[in-house]
Amino acid sequence: MRQRELGAFMILFGILLLLACSYFIFRGLEMESKVSELSKSIDNLTRGIGGEVGVCVINERGELVYALNPDMKLIPASNVKLLTCAAALHILGPSYTYETKVCYSGTLVNGTLYGDIIVKGAGDPSITYEDIRKLAKNISSLIRLIEGDILVDEGIFDEEYVEESWEIEDLQYYYAARVSGLSVEKNVIKIVVSPGRREGDPARVDLIPKTSYVEVVNYVRTVGGDKSDVNARKVFDENKVILRGEIGVQSDPVEFVRTVEEPSLYFGNLLMESLELEGVVVRGTVRKGVLPEGAVEIGLIRSRPLSELVKEMMKRSDNMMADHLLKTIGAFKYGRGSFENGVRAVTSFLDELGVPNNIMMVDGSGLSRLNGVSPKILALLLQKVKDQPYFDYFINSLPIAGVDGTLKRRMVGTPAEGRVFAKTGTLSGVSALSGYVKSSKGEVVFSIMVNSPASREELRKIVDGICLEIVRLFGSQ
């Protein structure tokens, strides 16, 4: 009897073992088929474009299931922001807030300050003109006459306002805004050009925010009709913009956004002008300085928590915010904010996470073409971050295909819509997309990077095509 039972057990065990082997063989063949399909699709999509392509895919179980040139360093463009965002959340924490302090030195007697107003910057990239107006209103309730100066302390960061490898022609545009320890309005100014009352009149020019800190030279004339042909050129390294061209008397206003030099002085001038609007007399000038010991705090600008700031940064791909965050983590870990210290903080973070730090990183935004990172490192970063307590903040900061951010108009009406959470990256000759596909079993990690002389439209079509194939083959619902 026992022998018969043992025989039955062995038969059953053999059947189960055979089924298990068959399952794993089938899974292996299925995976091999998917890898082959993806390879063929990528070959078809990239045929004839020249350049280099790198792709990595990690499945829900954390297994690397596809790799094409995984270790090749490619220009990542704004995919660098994945490193900056993750490092900032890890080092500072999602609840971190910036605190910009306003103090006075000297003595305050019956509304007259015999001393200076000092603003101590914290590196906050989110301060607005409205914040300054509120600050001025609060100060005006205490002080009606300032016999001294407005001092701005930007010392938390160094004075390398731009990364040296950024293209000179980019420096007048918003995406290359200056990086300062004391900033306001993203360190840009809006110039609104409107037609004059009649043909032949000079165009009307308004600055937002209104300030004398930026000089505008206006050579634009009003002509007949409703067409406009206006250009705005910022003079290199100066707060001076030259307007040329024509604007139709029936034309809508034309708007330009240009960068501002010396952001801390921009802040100080806006504060002084806002105080004057509140009826406060300022005898002195705006100048750089250092917060002295014993200064009395009379105001504070507190930012939104980091979890909200990184969401704004990643959804919009905001370069200015990314570079400020890079310098912030540099200051937090090493005492002073700089591009170099920020990169040190990122590489230290990668070491702590167990991700190879074999990257070439010079800024936090990805604007520099000297940045270099492999798709495997980005994929490993994305995988490791899944196990961190701030992961929900991280993934929810990413643009969603067909829904919002820089992916709002991409992959609309496809299986990727609403399921791909990923960071875009675009420069001339560069297109990248790295992030997650949400599936029924978790998140599939992917990184796609293409460096090629093909047009921006062609590259975007290729990257989206590869992403859709990853969704189809690996992102089961």
| Cα–Cα dist 269/285, whole Å | 9
Counting Cα atoms < 13 Å in the Cβ hemisphere of 152 gives 23
> Is 303 a known active-site residue?
no
Of 78, 126, 365, 434, which residue is the catalytic one? 78
- Give the β-pairing of 281-282 and 286-288: unpaired
Of 34, 81, 234, 438, which residue is the catalytic one? 81
| Cα–Cα dist 156/100, whole Å | 11
> Is 194 a known active-site residue?
no
Three-state helix/strand/coil letters over the chain:
CHHHHHHHHHHHHHHHHHHHHHHHHHHHHHHHHHHHHHHHHHHHHHCCCCCEEEEEEECCCCCEEEEECCCCCECCHHHHHHHHHHHHHHHHCCCCCCEEEEEECCEEECCEEECCEEEECCCCCCCCHHHHHHHHHHHHCCCCEECCCEEEECCCECCCCCCCCCCHHHCCCHHHCCCCCCCCHHHEEEEEEECCCCCCCECEEEEECCCCCCEEEEEEEEECCCCEEEEEEECCCCCEEEEEEEEECCCCCEEEEEECCCHHHHHHHHHHHHHHHCCCEECCCEEECCCCCCCEEEEEEECCCHHHHHHHHHHHCCHHHHHHHHHHHHHHHHCCECHHHHHHHHHHHHHHHCCCCCCECCCCCCCCCCCEECHHHHHHHHHHHCCCCCHHHHHHHCCECCCCHHHCCCCCCCCCCCCEEEEEEEECCEEEEEEEEEECCEEEEEEEEEECCCCHHHHHHHHHHHHHHHHHHHCCC
- Residue 229 CB neighbours (<10 A): 13
Of 303, 317, 368, 434, which residue is the catalytic one? 317
> Is 348 a known active-site residue?
no
The residue type at 388: Q
Q: Which of 418, 456, 434 is nearest to 83 (CA)?
A: 434
Annotated catalytic residues are: 78, 81, 317
